[in-house]
Structure 1
C-alpha cells in the first residue's frame, strides 16, 4: 500500500515523498491505489524506493511528454541511467530513445511506412482475416481472449504486412515483452526473461535484414530508403526491428484492453453493436481506461521547474501514463469505460515527437476486429478467472477466458 510523508519544504521546491514500490507485483497487478496516492501527493513527487521524480497528473505528464528539449529520451526511457550506471540492458532503441536531430530520419521513415494512408491498403485483407478468425472462435464454447484473439490476430496480419517469414513469429512477443520489461528496475521480472531475450537477439537481427524480407512488404519499403540516401543500412535494420515491436505490442495489449473493458461494461458493448462507427472511439477509450503502456522515464536536460518543484539536471523522471489517463482533474468519472466520452486527449500512446508510431496499426487492426465482433457477437461474457501479465512497463492480461455469444 502506498503511503505519503510530506518532506520539509524549502521555498516550496521540495516535492512530497511517496513511499512504496510501483514495480512491485502488487502494484503492477493493480496500480490504481498507488496512482491515486501519486496524483494526490502533488504535481511532482519523489519516489524514495528508486530515488527518482515522478508525475501522475494529466497536465504535468502531457507537458513533459511534449517537452523533449527539457525532458530527453536520448538518455533512455527506462530507470537505468547510462551517465552513471553499468548497463543491464541493451543499447537504446533505434527511435524511442533518440532525440533530434538523430531521431528525425528514422522516425520519418517509420511514419511514412505506418501512416494511415499507407495502411489503408491492408484494410480489406485484415477484415477478411478477422471474419475467418471470429467464425472459428464462435464454434468454441470458451476462448482465451488473449492467446486466441489479442495475440493471434496481430501475429497473423502485421508480420505478413511487414514481409517477414512466418516461422518463428511468436518470438516477436517474447522479444518485445522483455524489451519493455527492461525499462523498469533490474528485478525478478527482468531476470526471468533475460535468457530467452538473449537467445533471440540474433534471430531478431535477421528479421530486419534486407535478404529475409519479401520485396512487396513494408520492410522492403524501409530498405528502399537506403537506396534513396534517407537512411543508412544500420538505421534501416533498427527501424524495422522497432517497427515490429511498435506494430505488435501496442496492438496485442490494446485488443486485450478492449475485451476487458466490454466485460466490465457490457452495456457499452450493446452501444457499439447499435453504432459500429464508434469502433475508433471504443479503441481510444480502452487505451485511456486501461493504459497498456503504464510508464516511461525521461531525463532532465537542465534544471526544470514544474509547479514550483525543481527537477535537477540529469535526474530521471518517471511519468505515469496510466495515472494521467485516470486523473479526475482531466476526466469526468475516469474509472468508468464510456463510449459517450471523447477520449482523444489521452496520453496512452505518449505525446509529441515520441508518440507511439504503431498506434495507427493498432487502431486499424482493432477497428476491423471490433466491426466483425459487433456484427456477429451478441454478448461477451466472462468464462473463468483472468490472470494478469506482469511487466515493468506494460499492463495487460496473461489469460482472459470469455464466451462469445453469437447473435
Structure 2
C-alpha cells in the first residue's frame, strides 16, 4: 500500500475504503512515497495504545515523515513535540500554566468579543476568505491573548504560519519559519521586560527553568499549531454546512455546541497523523518491530473507525460520546486543546448569532501539507439575519453598517 495515496482519504471517503484500511490489521506496511516503507497504525484502539506507549515509540526523531534530520536535531529535547519523558514532562509542566482552565477563563470573554467583531466585519464585506480572514484571525488573537501579547495579533501572522507549513522544505517555508522565529523572539523579549502580569510571570518562570532558547522554539510551535489547526477545523465545519445546502444559522441553532465542537474536531481531523520511531527491538500487536523503524499513527483513520463510531463517514453534531483522538493521547496530548475548543465554540456561536446563510464564491483551496490538512482559502459570501430573523439579510446588514 502507498501512504501517499492513503493519506488523501478523508472522513467523507467511501466507507468501503476505510473498511479496507482498518481490515489491514493492527499494524501494516506502506510505502512512504520516497521508496522507503513505514509501519502504519489505523485502528482507534491501536492508535491510542501506541500514542500512550512512549517507551516503545519515541518522538525525538521527529513527528512527520521526511523531516530534515538537521532541523530535528536542532530542536530535539527542546520542544513539546520532539521530546519524550522525562524532558517532555518538564517542558509541559513549565508551559501548562498558560493553558490551564483558570488562565483561559480570564481570556474567554475577550475571545468571544474578537469572534463577534471579526464575523460582523466579514458580514459588511461582499466577499471574505473565511479560512484566513475569519477563522485564522480569531485563532491569532486567541493565541496572542494566551501569551499576553495582544500587539502580536496582526494579520501578517496568518500569512506567516500558512507559509511556514507550506510545501515541505520549500524556500518559502524556510523563510516564513525564520520570520516567525524572529517574531517570536521579539515577542519573548517584550514579555520578559513587561509588567508583572500572571502570564508574564509564568513565561519568565519557564525561561528560568528551561532557558530562553527552549521557550522561544515552543512559542514558535504554539503559533503554528494554534492558528493553522483551528482555521482548518472551523473552515471545514462551515464548508460542510454549505455543502449540505442548509442555512448556517438554522443548523447551528439546533446544535448542542459542546457536542458540535467535538464532532467538528473529529470530522475535520486537521492533524492527519503523527510519526513515532521505534526505540528498541520489540514485538507489538504480534508484529516484530526493529529499533529505528518509523511508525505512522494515523489519527484521521482512528477517528472514522466503525468499531468505535456509529456511521463514522457521517457528520453528527449530536454524537456522544465522541472519543476522537484529534488531540492525541497520553503524555503528548495537545497542551492547547482547551484553547482550540474555546476558539471553535466562540466562532461557531458567533456565526449562529449573526449569520443566516453562506455561499461559496469560488472553490476552496485545500492545503494538504504532509501531516496537516484543511481548507487554506475559502471565499464566501455571508448573509446576516434580518432583525425579525426571516430569510432576508438587509435589516441586519443595515444595523451592522450603522455600528461600523
Q: Retained in 1: the 8 A contact 2:132–2:158?
A: no
> Matched residues in 2 for 1:252 and 1:266: separation?
21
Q: CA deviation at 1:388?
A: 0.6
Q: Which runs of 5+ in 2 are unaligned?
A: 386-404
> Matched residues in 2 for 1:72 and 1:156: separation?
33
Q: Retained in 1: the 8 A contact 2:61–2:277?
A: yes
Q: Retained in 2: the 8 A contact 1:251–1:361?
A: no
Q: Partner residue of 2:358?
A: 380
Q: Retained in 2: the 8 A contact 1:35–1:56?
A: no
Asked if residue 58 in structure 1 is aligned to residue 44 in structure 2, the reply is: yes
Q: Partner residue of 2:4?
A: 21
> Matched residues in 1 for 2:114 and 2:75: separation?
36
Per-residue CA shift, 1:45-98, capped at 9, x if unaligned?
A: 11124321111121111111111121111222122588xx66588533511111
Per-residue CA shift, 1:346-405, capped at 9, x if unaligned?
A: 011111110111121111111111111111222233332111113111111121122323
Selected match of 2:126 from 141, 144, 148: 141
> Matched residues in 2 for 1:234 and 1:377: separation?
44
Q: Partner residue of 1:208?
A: 188
Q: Partner residue of 2:111?
A: 126
Q: Retained in 2: the 8 A contact 1:254–1:362?
A: no
Q: CA deviation at 1:318?
A: 0.9
Q: Partner residue of 2:62?
A: 76
Q: Partner residue of 2:390?
A: none
Q: CA deviation at 1:272?
A: 2.6
Asked if residue 240 in structure 1 is aligned to residue 225 in structure 2, the reply is: no
Q: Which runs of 5+ in 1 are unaligned?
A: 1-17, 182-186
Asked if residue 308 in structure 1 is aligned to residue 286 in structure 2, the reply is: yes
Asked if residue 272 in structure 1 is aligned to residue 258 in structure 2, the reply is: no
Q: Partner residue of 1:9?
A: none
Aligned residue-pair number: 378
Selected match of 1:197 from 173, 177, 190: 177
CA RMSD of aligned residues (A): 3.2
Asked if residue 114 in structure 1 is aligned to residue 114 in structure 2, the reply is: no
> Matched residues in 1 for 2:62 and 2:139: separation?
27
Q: CA deviation at 1:39?
A: 2.6
> Matched residues in 2 for 1:112 and 1:179: separation?
27
Q: What SS does structure 2 have at the residue aligned with 1:77?
A: coil
> Matched residues in 2 for 1:32 and 1:190: separation?
30
Asked if residue 102 in structure 1 is aligned to residue 87 in structure 2, the reply is: yes
Q: Partner residue of 1:290?
A: 268
Q: Partner residue of 1:256?
A: 235
Q: Partner residue of 2:30?
A: 47
Q: Partner residue of 1:325?
A: 303
- 207 and 222 in structure 1: CA distance in 2 versus 1, 3 angstrom threshold: same
TM, length-normalised to structure 1: 0.81
Q: Retained in 2: the 8 A contact 1:180–1:393?
A: no
Q: CA deviation at 1:100?
A: 1.0
Q: What SS does structure 2 have at the residue aligned with 1:328?
A: coil
> Matched residues in 2 for 1:66 and 1:180: separation?
26
> Matched residues in 2 for 1:102 and 1:313: separation?
21
- 386 and 237 in structure 1: CA distance in 2 versus 1, 3 angstrom threshold: closer
- 104 and 89 in structure 1: CA distance in 2 versus 1, 3 angstrom threshold: closer
Which 10-residue stretch deviates more, 254-263 or 112-121? 254-263
Q: What SS does structure 1 have at the residue aligned with 2:23?
A: helix
TM, length-normalised to structure 2: 0.82
Asked if residue 371 in structure 1 is aligned to residue 371 in structure 2, the reply is: no
- 239 and 134 in structure 1: CA distance in 2 versus 1, 3 angstrom threshold: same
Q: Retained in 2: the 8 A contact 1:58–1:330?
A: yes
Q: Which runs of 4+ in 1 moved over 6 A?
A: 28-31
Q: What SS does structure 2 have at the residue aligned with 1:293?
A: coil
> Matched residues in 2 for 1:308 and 1:330: separation?
22
> When you count helix as a share of all residues, which structure comes out higher?
2
> Matched residues in 2 for 1:73 and 1:235: separation?
16
